[in-house]
């Protein structure tokens, strides 16, 4: 999950959102990028601690290449076809096309 999804209120308080993951995790640099004076509620504090706990167990291995996978296909690879199909997820099937283009007048 993204930090934005784990702690949305803390994300809103962050100064720099374009920081690399490696830089953010190095010596907990990400903490210095949060406007801590904006942490004014128990919810802020809970999100901050939750994010800290989740990030503390992340360890990057510089010897392993990054990988990107497309979640919208079974094999994890991107295709224009899968991107096109995802636009229609959740649509309700309709016979509107038949209703609109059906000839309503009796034949001559």
**Closest C-alpha among 28, 33, 34, 18 to residue 53:** 28
On the question of pLDDT at 103 being above 80, the answer is no
* Residue 96, domain member (yes or no): no
* pLDDT tens per residue across span 27-44: 999 999 999 888 899 999
On the question of pLDDT at 99 being above 80, the answer is no
Integer Cα distance of 20 and 7 in angstroms: 18
Q: How confident is the model at residue 95 (pLDDT cuts 50, 70, 90)?
A: confident
* Residue 103, domain member (yes or no): no
Domain count, the chain: 1
* Residue 64, domain member (yes or no): no
pLDDT value of residue 45: 93
**Parent domain of 45:** 3-56
CA 40 to chain centroid:
26
* Residue 74, domain member (yes or no): no
* Residue 30, domain member (yes or no): yes
Average pLDDT, integer, range 59-71: 88
Integer Cα distance of 41 and 61 in angstroms: 36
* Residue 98, domain member (yes or no): no
CB atoms within 10 A of CB 48: 18
* Residue 61, domain member (yes or no): no
* pLDDT tens per residue across span 17-29: 678 888 889 999 9
Integer Cα distance of 34 and 86 in angstroms: 35
């Amino acid at each position: 999950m993204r930090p934005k999804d784990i702690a949305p209120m803390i994300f809103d308080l962050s100064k720099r959102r374009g920081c690399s993951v490696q830089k953010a995790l190095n010596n907990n640099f990400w903490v210095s990028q949060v406007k801590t004076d904006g942490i004014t509620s128990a919810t802020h504090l809970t999100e901050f601690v939750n994010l800290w706990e989740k990030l503390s167990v992340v360890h990057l291995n510089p010897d392993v290449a990054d990988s990107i996978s497309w979640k919208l296909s079974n094999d994890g690879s991107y295709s224009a076809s899968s991107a096109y199909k995802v636009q229609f997820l959740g649509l309700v099937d309709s016979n509107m096309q038949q209703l609109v283009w059906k000839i309503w007048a009796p034949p001559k």
